[in-house]
Amino acid sequence: MDELKQAYETLGLPELAAKEEVEKRYTTLMRQARSRAQQKKADAGNAEDSFAKITQAYRLILEYEDRKLTDAFNEQEYGKYKKMAGQAQKMDHFWRYYRFHTLGAIAAVALIIYGVISFMNYREEQERLANLPPVDLSVSFMGNYMLKEDAPKEEPIEKALLTAFPEWKRFTSMLTFVPADQQAQYAYMQKAVLILATEHPDVYIMDRSIFEWVGTQGVLMNLDSDVNGELKPLMKDGLAQKLKTDEDTEEHVYGIDLSSSALVDQVPLYKESMIIGIRLDSKNPEKAKEFIKKYLATIK
């Protein structure tokens, strides 16, 4: 406190003068000291000493003012913690200075945990799939199709398909909704294009609009020989769906309309039409044709 008192005296101010007065007085004294130094160049050394004393006194007072404000803030912030105020202050300072490091560390740990859990889930899923029987037929539904509200929660489509083929062990299915309204189709069609390029089901079951789009892509099997051969006794007028592809200017049968099949009603989907086509690189083409044959047999 003696040093602080001396500092105020050096500036010619009463003890604990307001900060504004200190600032004003310091500016005035510095101007006066510079003026005297310029007038009496011989006393330059004394002027430097005067500058140093005034500046030292000014800085000491500012440090006191800053410390006083800090103490007042700490009392307001941490005084409620009483004996634990010091500990609370340290924790607060730690959080302020290292919060981003702390949050980053927490995020890193969370990512590691998530990665471990995801890997374990993946391994469990792979083990589950490995224990399943081989897929008899994979079916991709694409078009204006939606699951019914009363459909079972687990594998509703697969279970419905298996009811018609009790001798088979396993179906897999994918449902890609594409609305009939052309103005609302754009985003859904982008997804359909991606699925068409990356997924390889055995058969596609499509509404009429999607069939006319998929059929021209050259991904469906030509069924001319099938509808004129083994399937001919079951084919009725209008069931064979012909198209021209981008690479073939002649019409061929690339789909069969199963909309009137009684088995279609067992599939828990809202639908208007169902046209089936076999993918060119189908892994189970014979079973795909067996599927078509059984559905055709229930058309009256």
Give, in order, the Cα–Cα distances in Å from 68 to each of 83, 124, 167: 20, 63, 88
Residues 53-95 have pLDDT tens digits of 888 878 887 887 777 776 666 666 655 555 555 565 566 655 5
State residue 274's pLDDT score.
Answer: 96
Are 67 and 195 in a shared domain? no
Are 48 and 164 in a shared domain? no
12: which DSSP letter? T
Per the DSSP assignment, residues forming a β-bridge with 176 are 142
Q: Please say whether the beta carbons of 204 and 279 come within 8 A.
A: yes
Are 10 and 72 in a shared domain? yes
What's the gap between Cα 92 and its chain centre? 33
Range with lowest mean pLDDT among 37-41, 54-58, 235-239:
37-41
155, HSE (Cβ side, Cα atoms, 13 Å): 12
State residue 186's pLDDT score.
Answer: 82
Residues 148-185 have pLDDT tens digits of 998 888 889 999 999 999 999 999 999 999 998 877 78
Are 147 and 230 in a shared domain? yes
Report the DSSP pairing between strands 240-243 and 252-257: antiparallel
Give the number of other Cβ atoms within 10 Å of residue 140's Cβ.
Answer: 23
Are 186 and 255 in a shared domain? yes
Are 278 and 167 in a shared domain? yes
Asked whether residue 119 is domain-assigned, the answer is no
Report the DSSP pairing between strands 269-270 and 252-257: unpaired
180: which DSSP letter? S
Asked whether residue 265 is domain-assigned, the answer is yes
Q: Is 12 left (phi over 0), alpha (psi -120 to 50) or beta?
A: left
Asked whether residue 11 is domain-assigned, the answer is yes
- Structural domain boundaries enclosing 213: 135-296
**Which run of H or E residues covers position 241?**
strand 240-243
Are 70 and 199 in a shared domain? no
What's the one-letter identity of residue 224? D
For the chain, the domain total comes to 2
Are 58 and 159 in a shared domain? no
State residue 281's pLDDT score.
Answer: 94
Give, in order, the Cα–Cα distances in Å from 90 to each of 74, 96, 299: 11, 10, 81
Residues 96-116 have pLDDT tens digits of 656 666 677 788 888 899 888
Domain end: 18, 50, 85, which one?
A: 85
State residue 16's pLDDT score.
Answer: 76
Asked whether residue 101 is domain-assigned, the answer is no
Report the DSSP pairing between strands 203-206 and 240-243: unpaired
Quote the pTM value. 0.60
State residue 232's pLDDT score.
Answer: 94
Q: What is the mean pLDDT of residues 227-244?
A: 94
Are 165 and 278 in a shared domain? yes
